[in-house]
Amino acid sequence: MSLIVYTVASLFTVTALLIFRRPRLALRDPLTASTCVSIFLGGLCFFCSAPVTLGAVNEVTHVPNFGAPMTYSVISAYSASLLILLINWRGGPAERVRSQVVRVATVYSLVIVAVITLFALAHAPVERLRDLDTYYANTPYMREMIVLYLLGHGACAVITIYVCLRWSREVTGILRLGLRLIMAGLAVDVLGFECAKSTAVVARWAGHDLDRLSTGLAPRAAALGALLCAAGFVLPRLLPATLSQWRSIWDYRALGPLWAELRNVPTAPKPAPPRWQLPRGRLYYRELRILDALLALQSRCDGRVRETAYRQARGQGSPPGEAHFIAAAAMVVDAAHQAGRPGPPEGPGPEGGSRLHTALFSDTGELVRLARALAGSPVVRAAREGAARTARS
């Protein structure tokens, strides 16, 4: 059991670190900060509830079952953090958001104080690492403490499901998916954890033994529900950035032929890029170098080459948009070969520069289309061969 909860706690910690990778920016954003706090507390819940952790805490404090109020307090804090995260995520007027956050924090702070107070008043001399809820279900003050933390966590789950259900009807896309994951996770938590724990406790009140629901089903349901819930909160925040980085990898590779054509064009010196970069940063530096090279080729671009290539591309059946990029690629290839030869630039100069300026922009998609035309068009291949023959002569 300890291995399961420690694994879940580790997953929560890694997720929190991914979101909190820029601490200064994260602390300025209430949504990011509350997301990290909620995920961290979720992981802490599982860490504290592990029998190994409970045993170590009891031994260090020399208080039997001291780990119980500690774990219940963390669960209550986690419940409050879920509600606060949902409030910040939903947004609205700043004053209303602040007021709601204060109310939630106040209520669950009182719950935590009550849990600790009830434990202090109770008499629980026998250490129970796995079945404390049912073992002490009929013990004065311990009984009230157990019911209180279950009610606090259950109220959080029901309120969050209700708000997410209403909100999911107003939004679409990945945000709706995230809300549905949250609802699914909380539904698993309510049915698998809350109901199982409550049923086992009530069974003890009635003189029956259903402890296996509390010790077997509840921890596993809590782990699954918490993972689904965390995925629902994190997915809308991390998935767009992840997809952006993934697209950057493909765009970086797609620009390879264009960069290979232009990498030897003399340009103004630039600072060396950082050695370790995410794909988006690598793509940015490649685009910057390509654009610098294209600007350096302005005076060598020959509009006649572009017009000829455009007619050839149209004659081969290319649509106007594709022919536009094929013609621009042919002109770039010709200009790049000119840049490799000594002497003044050839061609009409200003007219060619104007045509290059209207053909190419700093948009990544257009640079990728230019690179694909340069790599795959027979018209561009013929232009390259013609430029090479001119260079040899």
Q: What is the pLDDT of residues 256-297, one digit of tens each?
A: 999 998 888 877 676 676 777 888 888 988 888 888 888 888
Q: Does residue 205 belong to any structural domain of this protein? A: yes
Residue 54: its pLDDT value, please?
Answer: 92
Residue given tokens 């509350």 in the structure block: 34
Tens of pLDDT, residue by residue over 14-25, are 666 666 555 555
Measured distance CA(33)–CA(193) in Å, rounded: 27
- 352: pLDDT confidence band, cut at 50, 70 and 90? very low
Q: Which domain, by its residues, includes 343?
A: 260-392
Cβ contacts of 328 within 8 Å, gap of 6 or more: 306, 356, 359, 360, 370, 373
Cβ atoms of 87 and 101 within 8 Å: the answer is yes
How many residues comprise the chain? 393
Residue 147 main-chain phi, psi, to 5 deg = -65, -40
Could you tell me if 134 and 196 lie in one domain? yes
Q: Does residue 144 belong to any structural domain of this protein? A: yes
Query: Which long-range CB contacts under 8 A does 60-67 form with residues at least 24 apart?
Result: 64/124, 64/125, 64/126, 64/127, 65/119, 65/124, 65/126, 65/127, 65/128, 65/132, 67/129
Instruction: Say whether pLDDT at 56 is over 70.
Output: yes
Higher pLDDT, 108 or 317: 108
Burial of 94 (0-12, 13-18, 19+ CB in 10 A): exposed
Could you tell me if 211 and 284 lie in one domain? no
Could you tell me if 327 and 187 lie in one domain? no
Could you tell me if 177 and 283 lie in one domain? no
Residue 3: its pLDDT value, please?
Answer: 62
Neighbours of 238 (CB within 10 A): 15
Q: Does residue 313 belong to any structural domain of this protein? A: yes
The enclosing H or E element of 341 equals none
**Inter-axis angle of helices 67-90 and 30-49, nearest 10:** 160
| Percentage of residues in the chain having pLDDT higher than 90 | 40
Residue 359: its pLDDT value, please?
Answer: 47
Measured distance CA(93)–CA(99) in Å, rounded: 10
- 356: pLDDT confidence band, cut at 50, 70 and 90? low
CATH code, domain with 234? 1.20.1070
Could you tell me if 314 and 167 lie in one domain? no
* C-alpha dist (Å) from residue 206 to 133, 134, 209, 307, 337: 15, 12, 9, 91, 91
Measured distance CA(184)–CA(161) in Å, rounded: 9
- 205: pLDDT confidence band, cut at 50, 70 and 90? very high
Where on the phi/psi map is residue 332: left (φ > 0), alpha (ψ -120 to 50), or beta? alpha
Domain count, the chain: 2
Residue 30: its pLDDT value, please?
Answer: 79
Instruction: Say whether pLDDT at 354 is over 50.
Output: no
The enclosing H or E element of 126 equals none
Could you tell me if 272 and 237 lie in one domain? no
Cβ atoms of 75 and 43 within 8 Å: the answer is no
Q: Does residue 72 belong to any structural domain of this protein? A: yes
Residue 89: its pLDDT value, please?
Answer: 84
Residue 303: its pLDDT value, please?
Answer: 83
- 345: pLDDT confidence band, cut at 50, 70 and 90? low
Instruction: Say whether pLDDT at 329 is over 80.
Output: yes
- For the chain, the straight-line distance linking the first and the last C-alpha, in angstroms and rounded, comes to 79
Lowest-confidence range among 103-107, 122-126, 235-239?
235-239
Instruction: Say whether pLDDT at 7 is over 80.
Output: no
Once rounded to an integer, what is the mean pLDDT over residues 67-76? 94
Could you tell me if 235 and 379 lie in one domain? no
| Percentage of residues in the chain having pLDDT higher than 70 | 85
The sign one gets for the Cα dihedral 213, 214, 220, 225 is positive
Instruction: Check residue 362 and report its DSSP letter.
Output: S
Write down the mean pLDDT value for the chain.
84
Higher pLDDT, 170 or 84: 84
Q: What one-character-per-residue DSSP string does 209-256 give?
A: --HHIIIIIHHHHHHHHHHHHHHHHHHHHHHHHHHHHHHHHHHHHHTH
Q: Does residue 197 belong to any structural domain of this protein? A: yes
Could you tell me if 71 and 128 lie in one domain? yes
Q: Does residue 252 belong to any structural domain of this protein? A: no
Residue 358: its pLDDT value, please?
Answer: 41
Cβ atoms of 341 and 349 within 8 Å: the answer is no
Q: Does residue 18 belong to any structural domain of this protein? A: yes
Could you tell me if 280 and 365 lie in one domain? yes
Once rounded to an integer, what is the mean pLDDT over residues 106-122? 96
Tens of pLDDT, residue by residue over 144-182, are 999 999 999 999 999 999 988 988 888 888 889 989 998
Could you tell me if 85 and 208 lie in one domain? yes
Cβ atoms of 226 and 8 within 8 Å: the answer is yes
Could you tell me if 235 and 355 lie in one domain? no
Residue 174: its pLDDT value, please?
Answer: 87
Could you tell me if 214 and 266 lie in one domain? no
Q: Does residue 203 belong to any structural domain of this protein? A: yes
Neighbours of 230 (CB within 10 A): 24
